[in-house]
Amino acid sequence: MTTPTIAVLEGDQTGQELLAEALRVLDKSVIDLELAFEPFDLSLENRRSTNNQVVLDAAEARRSKSTGSA
């Protein structure tokens, strides 16, 4: 069985703090399930430096993860 992968959309400030807490409860020691995480830095600085390509990459990852394709 392949390890389920979650696209993690990181960002700025408060959203990042909430994300850290959400990821904490997805830890294998808490849910007894191995998960893989594919992070995407959606901070303003990174969106600017990649000319928003990171947003497109994250959207594609979300699409492929939600449909179950690799």
CA atoms within 13 A on the CB side of 39: 9
Share above pLDDT 70 across residues of the chain, in percent, rounded to a whole number: 93
Amino acid at 40: F
Question: How far is 70 from 9, CA to CA, in rounded Å?
Answer: 18
**Main-chain dihedrals φ then ψ at residue 52, nearest 5 degrees:** 70, 10
Question: Looking at residues 9-22, what average pLDDT do you find?
Answer: 86
| Contact status, residue 7 vs residue 40, Cβ threshold 8 Å | yes
H or E segment and range at residue 5: strand 5-10
Structural domain boundaries, residue 57:
5-67
Share above pLDDT 90 across residues of the chain, in percent, rounded to a whole number: 71
What's the whole-model pTM score? Answer: 0.79
pLDDT band, residue 66 (cuts 50/70/90): low
Look at the chain and report how many structural domains it folds into: 1
